[in-house]
Amino acid sequence: MKKIGVILKKNKPEAVELAHKLAPWFEERGIEAFFEHEVANELGLENGHGKSEIPDLVDLIIVLGGDGTLLSVARLVGSTCVPILGVNLGSLGFLTEITVEELFPMLEKIMGGDFELEERMMLRASIYRHGELITSYSALNDVVINKGAIARIIDLEATIDDQYLTLYRVDGLIISTPTGSTGYSLAAAGPIVYPSLHAMIITPICPFTLNNRPIMIPDNSKVKVTLKTENVDHLLTMDGQVTFALKAGDMVEVYKADSCINLIKSPYRDYYEVLRTKLKWSGTR
């Protein structure tokens, strides 16, 4: 890999400090580095790039930050399928598994071809108003439909592959990937799903009827959710970062995206260790 992009959480001093160490490391090995304009200026480099340009220019992207930073990068990568190495600058993340201390040993492994990729599915959410497509978004973790500020239950009619599922009376509805099962869905009592499984999870938020439970469906399904409640602000949120205002009668179609992302797996710990650490499960061997 001769071209590597670095995208970081710019308001985190540790990330900028690490970028200062990466730049000479790349130069010594003849690797062309791609930083965003602001970071390149900070490092005294002549050439900076727009964040959205970097995935098309590189063989690898290093993300310095946390899971939120990586989620934003995942939506940029799109169909390029460029591998992502997530480096967590705080506690371990579900997506950013590599610690700062492990970064340079891990890069040596990558340069030697000693690494493993894990493919993660993404979702596509398309919004239809009066039967016409008005916009679409991608998400790695989840697509969430919920109410605005008014404390009122909303009615959401859901179908799967055009077969009627139910009318949810809820605060909201989460449709997540296996990757996103440890995010908002988990907080709403959804199941933990191993990230490489081929599935989608539908999790109601505070259902009025307590027997409305989360459901797992095949990843080739198409979920359609129609907003039935009048005079209530509805919001569609992707990965907790991108928001779109919905109106009564809108239909949101959620399905597996054509593109996916490839994460470089940590050789230093497995998924279950990350679960134990993040969720503070007790017990030792």
Tell me whether residue 78 is in a domain.
yes
Six-digit token string for 268? 């230093």
Tell me whether residue 64 is in a domain.
yes
CATH number for the domain harbouring residue 187: 2.60.200.30
pLDDT of residue 285: 64
pLDDT of residue 23: 94
> Are 175 and 200 contacting, i.e. CB atoms less than 8 angstroms apart?
yes
Question: Do 235 and 132 fall within a single domain?
Answer: yes
162 carries an active-site annotation: no
Question: Do 126 and 112 fall within a single domain?
Answer: no
Six-digit token string for 249? 């009668």
Q: Residue 211: phi, psi to the nearest 5? A: -85, 5
Six-digit token string for 156? 């959401």
Question: Do 131 and 90 fall within a single domain?
Answer: no
Task: Tell me which of 56, 67, 171, 270 is the catalytic residue.
Answer: 67
Distance CA 221, CA 260 (A): 16
Tell me whether residue 137 is in a domain.
yes
Question: Do 133 and 228 fall within a single domain?
Answer: yes
Question: Do 213 and 269 fall within a single domain?
Answer: no
pLDDT of residue 1: 80
Q: Where are the beta strands (DSSP E) in the chain?
A: 3-8, 32-35, 60-65, 84-88, 117-129, 132-139, 142-147, 154-160, 163-170, 172-176, 199-205, 215-218, 222-227, 234-238, 242-246, 251-264
CATH number for the domain harbouring residue 11: 3.40.50.10330
Domain carrying residue 37: 3-116+265-279
pLDDT of residue 151: 67
pLDDT of residue 246: 94
pLDDT of residue 264: 96
pLDDT tens track for 142-191: 999 998 766 678 999 999 999 999 999 999 999 999 999 999 999 999 99
Six-digit token string for 13? 């001093």
Tell me whether residue 163 is in a domain.
yes
Distance CA 144, CA 240 (A): 8
Tell me whether residue 52 is in a domain.
yes
Question: Do 69 and 12 fall within a single domain?
Answer: yes
Tell me whether residue 211 is in a domain.
yes
Residues forming a β-bridge with 265: none
Please give the model's pTM, rounded to 2 decimal places.
0.93
Q: Cα-Cα-Cα-Cα dihedral of 264, 201, 208, 238, to 10°? A: 50
Q: What domain count does the chain have? A: 2
Question: Do 250 and 126 fall within a single domain?
Answer: yes
Tell me whether residue 61 is in a domain.
yes
Q: Where are the beta strands (DSSP E) in 140-221?
A: 142-147, 154-160, 163-170, 172-176, 199-205, 215-218
Question: Do 59 and 163 fall within a single domain?
Answer: no
Mean pLDDT by 10 residues, the chain (285 residues): 92 91 95 94 89 94 94 90 92 87 96 95 97 96 87 91 97 97 96 96 93 96 95 91 94 96 94 90 72
Distance CA 206, CA 149 (A): 15
Question: Do 252 and 128 fall within a single domain?
Answer: yes
Six-digit token string for 179? 């990757």
Question: Do 208 and 137 fall within a single domain?
Answer: yes
Question: Do 135 and 253 fall within a single domain?
Answer: yes
Question: Do 159 and 245 fall within a single domain?
Answer: yes
Tell me whether residue 285 is in a domain.
no
